[in-house]
A and B are shown apart, each in its own frame.
Chain A
Amino acid sequence: MPDMKEKYGQLQQVIEELKDQPGALMPVLQKAQGIFGCVPMDVQKIIAEGLGVTLSEVYGVATFYAQFTLEPAGKYIISVCMGTACYVKGSQKVLDKLSEELNVPVGKTSADGLFTLNATRCLGACGLAPVMTVNEEVYGRLTPDDIPGIIAKYRELG
């Protein structure tokens, strides 16, 4: 893949830019997550070398925070809010419906690589509970009946 080379180039640039500031590991990992969509082992190795820290430290941080993933996610990341307001208004049913519709357990990616289904912490859009996001798009006041239509829309987009 030709663009991988470019991505590694971007990563080196990020490391170069940030390495002298205190506490650089988190911002570097966040940028890497943005560049690659995940932080697999080889990326972690490059970061460890670039920042002069041990790989175990990088791995420790990468696995501590929910934002970092070691495997690539689907094209569409569906995050169902499981905050209290959404939960009391039935977000569990929405999540169950999604899991059924996509035939994928929570936290996993569908076989076609299209959807990753996540249960997420409070998105802070409690006024619209229950809420989910598909990438940046927010869907509020959901019922399980809304799910097939929304999924169909993204399947069509491919």
Chain B
Amino acid sequence: MEIYRAHVLCCGGTGCTSSGSAQLIERFEQKIAEAGLEKEVKVIRTGCFGLCEAGPVVIVYPEGTFYSRVRVEDVDEIVSEHLLKGRKVQHLVYTDHASHEQNANKSLNDINFYKHQKRVALRNCGVIDPENIDEYIAFDGYMALEKALTKMTREEVIDEILKSGLRGRGGGGFPTGLKWKFTYNSQADQKYVACNADEGDPGAFMDRSILEGDPHAVIEAMAIAGYAIGASEGYVYVRAEYPIAVKRLEIAINQAHEYGLLGKNIFGTDFSFDLKIRLGAGAFVCGEETALMRSIEGKRGEPTPRPPFPAVKGLFAKPTMLNNVETYANVPQIILKGADWFCEMGTEKSKGTKVFALGGKINNTGLVEVPMGTPLRTIIYDIGGGIPNGKAFKAVQTGGPSGGCLPAELLDTPVDYDNLIAAGSMMGSGGMIVMDEDNCMVDIARFFLDFTVDESCGKCAPCRIGTRRMLEILERIVEGKGEEGDIEKLENLANTIKATALCGLGQTAPNPVLSTLKFFRHEYEAHIKEKKCPAHHCQKLLQYVITDKCRGCTLCSKICPAGAITGSVKEMHHIDTAKCLKCGACIEKCRFGAIVKI
């Protein structure tokens, strides 16, 4: 293996690829070759670093200099200054949002965004080349599989996972070890291991990042699971919308085959295991375990009643053990370092760490991994850098369409499975969307219901019909046609759907409405009774008016598409509310802040 004096790590995750990291890598390779450094400096395309906000992200080692928002034009300077002359390019170094500090000598782990994090599931993301199995092996890859196969019995493996307290990271939080044990206990000629990579919660992208950044961790974990429960075959069900993840997973499976880490007689034992990839086709409900298995069978992805549970009768009617990507990513570490090590992290009932996808109105959007029990405030303010543009925090939405919105009063809640449920939301797969004062909570509830109505498979009536009725009421409310009694109707429907829907999608669909009703009831009441949207978001409830800050520059009257603005030069203008389309074009163009929404 060649030794290089410096490494240039370029993020090849979906976020940074979208901001042009592929062109950066090409340019780096070209410029490094031109400078005659190709034997000294190596360019590596890694998985996601997590700080997507700052993308495309480049880290130069051995110094660990963290460059952010790097453009193709900047590459020449980094090569000629940093790589050739050893001088860091100060103006490209990442600037911390909160402190405005730009310190080229700070290592990655000292930056606020990373300082509070603890990376277990994401440990290799942004560190290794995911398309090179040797790099994974160099970071203890496949050692856990070797340990399990050659030094542990199947029962010992299951015991270790049970003792670790690992719970399903896909949302439900069911103890992983129990799932393994149940499937182990089932007697059958064939069993299956499956991986749920149909990450459907809007605003969650941790599973994609793990598959893109560290696909071998999932393969290794599935092989360990296969050994433990007695399965020789596994399926990874991954969204077709994740092309980079699918490609890297394919490469990784092929490499594992070449190295004999998948296939027949792994590590010279009598254990054989193989993996297949199945692509999802754009149906949210397929994230539900029984629906997912129907989809792998090539059928409509409709859930089936449980029992029978998949551990007894799952894929192709055989016992099947399904875990989510992030859950699997923890497994090799638990086997290698032991359950006691894992138990040291987290809270009493939620052990280990959790990956969150921070998004929405927050400075540092991206992926973060923190120990369970970290307060929301730490995640949003210390790691996330707070709310941009000096706006006020209003709510944080966790758990996707099954979760809820939590208000500022609950910011000190330590995040774990049970605390979030007690607070009226849930962990879900780990999406965390921050909303500021400009977001209307009734409209957010409508947004989620719109999503569920669209994604409902239609099999059971409470979900198919009930969620549509709820959506219709919410649509009326945001249009200013809400009536007395609507809130009670919503609550009534919500409780019925929760109690009677067939699967998790339906049972949790009312949560966004219930949680916003609990914490932001006044916003519903303002819409219904006063026909006002307190966040000034709902177009139908708004009026645009020009205040006396107007200097009569005439700009707004020129751009108004409806010709609703009149006024002479240097005189205060006026908006004809009857003609106004409420498009907001005038507000964006006004240089004096003279136009307001009331």
Listed in ascending order, the chain A residues whose CB lies under 8 Å from chain B are: 22-27, 29-30, 57, 60-61, 64-68, 82-85, 87-89, 120-129, 131, 138, 140
Contacts and interface: CB of A to CB of B under 8 A. Distances in A.
B283 interface: yes
B281 A140 contact: no
Given A23-B278, A60-B300, A124 B316 contact: no
20 contacts: A25-B298, A26-B296, A30-B240, A61-B300, A82-B451, A83-B202, A85-B359, A85-B431, A88-B435, A89-B360, A121-B284, A122-B201, A122-B205, A123-B14, A124-B14, A124-B199, A127-B55, A129-B365, A131-B18, A140-B19
Interface-central residue, B281, B301, B316, by most chain A CB under 10 Å: B281
B282 A85 contact: no
Contacts of A66: 281-283
Contact of A84 (B19, B55, B202, B365): B202
B478 to A, nearest CB: 12
A88 B281 contact: no
Nearest to A51: B298
A123 B14 CA distance: 9
Contact of B298 (A26, A87, A126, A138): A26
B399 to A, nearest CB: 11
B299 A25 contact: yes
Contacts of B444: 88
Given A29-B281, A65-B281, A85-B359, 16 more contacts: A23-B299, A27-B298, A30-B279, A84-B359, A85-B365, A85-B431, A87-B202, A122-B200, A124-B208, A125-B14, A126-B203, A127-B359, A128-B18, A128-B55, A129-B359, A129-B365
A45 B279 CA distance: 22
Interface string B39-79: 00000000000001101000000000000000000000000
Contact of B203 (A22, A64, A67, A85): A85
A27 B279 contact: yes
A123 B17 CA distance: 13
Contact of B433 (A27, A29, A64, A85): A85
Interface string B285-310: 00000000001111111000000000
A89 B362 CA distance: 10
Interface of B: 14-15, 17-19, 52-53, 55, 199-205, 208, 240-242, 278-284, 295-301, 316, 357, 359-361, 365-366, 397, 400, 431, 433, 435, 439, 444, 447-448, 451, 457
A128 B15 CA distance: 7
A119 to B, nearest CB: 9
A25 B295 CA distance: 10
Contacts of B457: 64
Contacts of A30: 240, 279, 281
Contact of A124 (B205, B283, B300, B448): B205
Contacts of B299: 23, 25, 57, 61
Contact of B283 (A65, A84, A129): A65
Contact of B360 (A61, A88, A124): A88
B14 A85 contact: no
Contact of A22 (B18, B202, B297, B360): B297
A82 B448 CA distance: 10
Nearest to B458: A64
Nearest to B359: A85
Contact of A23 (B14, B298, B397): B298
A87 B300 CA distance: 29
Given A66-B282, A84-B359, A123 B241 contact: yes
A55 to B, nearest CB: 14
Interface-central residue, A25, A30, A88, A138, by most chain B CB under 10 Å: A88
Contacts of A65: 280-283, 301
What 9 A-B pairs have minimum CB-CB distances, sorted nearest first? A127-B52, A85-B359, A66-B282, A83-B202, A65-B281, A25-B298, A138-B18, A124-B205, A23-B298
Nearest to B48: A127
Contacts of A23: 278, 296-299, 316
A65 B296 CA distance: 13
Contacts of A127: 15, 52-53, 55, 359, 365-366
Contact of B278 (A26, A120, A140): A26
Contacts of B282: 65-67, 121
Contacts of A122: 200-205
Contacts of B300: 60-61, 64
Contacts of A82: 202, 451
A88 B203 CA distance: 11
A89 B295 CA distance: 33
Contact of A128 (B52, B301, B435): B52
A46 B517 CA distance: 51
A30 B280 CA distance: 9
Contacts of B279: 26-27, 30
Contacts of A84: 202-203, 359-360, 397, 400, 431, 433, 447-448
Contacts of B281: 26, 29-30, 65-68
B241 A124 contact: yes
A64 B283 contact: yes
B361 A88 contact: yes
Contacts of A121: 200, 202, 241, 282, 284
B250 to A, nearest CB: 14
B374 to A, nearest CB: 20
A109 B42 CA distance: 46
Contacts of B397: 84
A124 B431 CA distance: 10
B443 to A, nearest CB: 9
Contacts of A60: 300
B439 A126 contact: no
A121 B451 CA distance: 9
Contacts of B316: 22-23
A88 B439 contact: yes
B514 to A, nearest CB: 17
B206 to A, nearest CB: 9
A60 B298 CA distance: 11
Contacts of A25: 298-299
Contacts of A26: 278-279, 281, 295-296, 298
Contacts of B208: 124
A102 to B, nearest CB: 17
A67 B284 CA distance: 12
